[in-house]
Structure 1
Amino acid sequence: MTILDARESGLANGGPSFSLGNRLLRAVWIPVWRLGAGWTPRQLHPWRRFLLRAFGARMAPGSDVRASAKVWYPANLEMHEGAIIGPGVNVYSMGKITVGRKALVSQGVHLCAGTHDFDTPLFQLEAKPITIGAHAWIAAEAFLGPGARIGEGAVVGARAVAFGELEPWTVYSGNPARAIRQRRRFADDASNS
């Protein structure tokens, strides 16, 4: 989905951007995460995974969202086996965010799956999914914008800014992120993302 549809957004008639159900879920989710998980040590990742699943996230075995990460709307988060979202990551999941098998999202990263259509008078919200492939590494404080598609095994360097499609097994750096070299493939690179 590229633009939140009129049924969900309400913007066509000047109403709220999200349904009442969406807003209520987030109103309950935020204190539940802060009080129920925000203080937990790394070893309690099964408990955090349970809480995320209870609010609609699709969490595979061995996936982990660290306690200090912020997940805006859990129902739009999908994490595959062994995927990790590190400390202080902002998962702004207005649109779906998928983190592939054994992918690592390092500390302070911002995953932003929403923006505004600034060419319209109502400044409508747009939700665009973010996909991070298996074995990819999003390094510290990088920014992935709406619609980013990070290929399997790709590396997005520290503080890099990425939009659009990044090729598999390639290392990217800078703002905007540019390919700087190929990355060696792992023996098990045929994994599902």
Structure 2
Amino acid sequence: MAAQPLDAEQTNPLQGGPSFSLRNRLLRAAWNVSWALLASWTPPQMRFWRRFLLKLFGAQLGEACDVRGSARVWYPPHLHLADRALLAERVNCYNMAPITLGRAALVSQGAHLCAGTHDIASATFQLKASPITIGAGAWIAAEAFVGPGVEVGEGAVLGARGVAFRSLEAWTVYGGNPAKAIKPRVLRAAER
């Protein structure tokens, strides 16, 4: 059930026309009401219930993954979480295009994953959507921003309040606005 933005030349969103199909808007309305009433208030331990609701609305979820109650998911069919992936408290998952988290990927509190933008050269300000992929074991730290089309490599880290508009290499730590590579991420041997 892919959701693609409508052609702005035909629908004229700048004059109040829709950016997405009626079916998409109705599903999102039902989703927002359902999440607000049935899940947004739930404690972390009720992940099974939140997972049930997300799956009911089309999300693809692996084992033991979680989306916290205060997180916002724009369009569940575009959410793909592998095993043990987590969208923490207050994450804004603005998934106009698919957003995929690999195994054990973590998106921390208040981070923003934004898979949509506008064509600023378009007279109609055409909406564009591009997928975001966050690799296995990667970490998007608190209040960081990941823009449309970004691929975060396996094990990469985007530091707190970092801003990524370009893809991030695997096993590298990034920070700042715009995000710049700081150092390699090297895991210590298991501590006993």
Q: Please report the TM-score for the alignment, with normalisation by the length of structure 2.
A: 0.91
Q: 2:79 aligns with which of 71, 77, 92?
A: 77
Structure 2 counterpart of 1:182, one-letter code: P
Deviations 1:41-66 (A, max 9, x none): 11110110110011111011111000
**Post-superposition offset of 1:12:** 3.2
One-letter amino acid of the counterpart of residue 40, structure 1: T
- 1:87-127 deviation digits (Å, cap 9, x = unpaired): 00000011110011001100000000000001010101000
What amino acid is aligned across from residue 70 of structure 2 in structure 1? Answer: S
SS at match of 1:115: strand
Q: Distance in 1 between matches of 2:188 and 2:137?
A: 9
* 2:107 is aligned with 1:110: no
Distance 1:79 1:163 in 2: 21
Q: Aligned partners of 2:9, 2:81: CA distance in 1, in Å?
A: 33
TM-fit CA distance, 1:10: 4.0
Question: Where has structure 1 moved over 6 Å in runs of 4 or more?
Answer: none
1:185, distance to aligned residue in structure 2 (A):
4.5
Question: Could you tell me the percent identity over the aligned residues?
Answer: 60
Match of 2:10 in 1: 13
The number of residues matched between the two structures is 182
3-state SS of 2:181 partner = strand
Look up the equivalent residue of 1:81 and give its one-letter code. D
**1:164 Cα offset (Å):** 2.0
- Letter of the structure 2 residue corresponding to residue 76 of structure 1: H
Specify the alignment match of 1:145 in structure 2: 147
The 1-side partners of 2:46 and 2:118 are apart by: 36
Gaps of 5+ in 2: 12-16
Give 1:45's aligned residue. 47
Counterpart code for 1:22: N
CA distance in 2, matches of 1:186, 1:33: 40
Aligned to 1:171: 173
Q: 1:133-160 CA distances to partner (integer Å, 9 max, x unpaired)?
A: 0000000000000111100000000000
Aligned CA-pair RMSD: 1.5
Separation in structure 1 between the aligned mates of residue 109 and residue 23 of structure 2, nearest angstrom: 31
Alignment counterpart, residue 122 of structure 1, candidates 124, 127, 132: 124
Partner in structure 1 of residue 14 of structure 2: none
On the 8 A contact 1:86/1:106 being kept in 2, the answer is yes
For the 8 Å contact 2:64–2:84, the answer to whether it is kept is: yes
Residue 186 of structure 1 and its aligned partner are, at CA, apart by: 7.5
Report if aligned partners of 2:7, 2:126 keep a CA contact under 8 Å in 1.
Answer: no
**What is the rounded CA distance, in whole Å, between the counterparts of 1:131 and 1:77 in structure 2?**
11
Q: Secondary structure at the match of 1:168?
A: coil
* Residues 16-65 of structure 1, C-alpha deviations (whole Å, 9 max, x = no match): 21011000000100010011101111111011011001111101111100
